[in-house]
Amino acid sequence: MVGAVFPSSRFLADKMLNHLPLKQAKVIVELGPGTGVFTERILKKMGEDSHLIVIELNDAFYLQLKQKFKHERCHIIHGSATDIKTILSNLGFEKASLIVSSLPLAMIPKEVGAEILKESVNSLEVGGKFLQYQYSLQSMKHLKSHFKNVKLNFTLLNFPPAFIYTCSE
C-alpha cells in the first residue's frame, strides 16, 4: 500500500502543484496522500471556495491525516480511489477540477489501476486535470490509454527522482 521508502519532498510537491489553478479549482481530489505532504500545500494554495477531498485507504495514514488536518473544507475520507465518483456524490459534488495522485500505479494490480484511471476520467469536469507522479516511465502507456493528453515532467530534487504526468481530455 506504500509506494516509496521516503515521503515525497517539498520540491516534488512544488513541481507538481505550482502550475495548477488551485485558487480557481472548486473541487480538488487527492488520492493516496500518505503523510500529507501534498495535502498541506494544497490547503495553503487553494481558493476560499475550494474543497479538498483526500482519499486514503491505509488505516494508519487515514488516522494521522484526520488528526493533522482539521480544515473545514478538507474532507478526509477512509476509502478507495476506485470510488471517487461515489465519494464526490456523497459529499454533494458532481465533478472534480483537479485530481492529484500519489498512488503507486506500478505496484497496484493492473485491473485496479485501470479502474482508478477510469473513475478519474469520469470524475473530472471539462478542462480538468489529473496529476500523477511515478518513479519510472512505466505508467506512460497506461495513462495514455485513458487520457487524450499526457504531458511529462521530471524532478531530480526528490529521492528517488520522480516523473510527473499531467493528464487531461
Task: Quickly tell me which residue has 487531461 as its cell.
Answer: 168
CA dist 131 to 20, 59, 64, 149, Å? 10, 24, 23, 12
Q: What local confidence, expressed as pLDDT, does residue 163 receive?
A: 87
Q: Which band of pLDDT confidence, cut at 50, 70 and 90, is reported for residue 134?
A: confident
Edge-to-edge order in the sheet of strand 74-78: 74-78, 51-56, 27-31, 96-101, 124-134, 162-168, 149-155
Portion of the chain with pLDDT greater than 70, in percent: 91
pTM reported for the whole predicted model: 0.91
Using only C-alpha atoms, what is the Rg of the chain?
Answer: 14
All domains in the chain, ordered by first residue: 10-168 (3.40.50.150)
Give residue 154's pLDDT.
78
Is residue 4 over pLDDT 70?
A: no
Q: Give residue 153's pLDDT.
A: 83
Which pLDDT belongs to residue 161? Answer: 76
156 pLDDT band, cuts 50/70/90, is low
- Residue in 19, 72, 86 with CA at minimum distance from that of residue 43: 72
Do 101 and 72 contact (CB within 8 A), yes or no?
no
Which pLDDT score is estimated for 2? Answer: 42
Where residue 14 falls among pLDDT bands split at 50, 70, 90?
A: confident
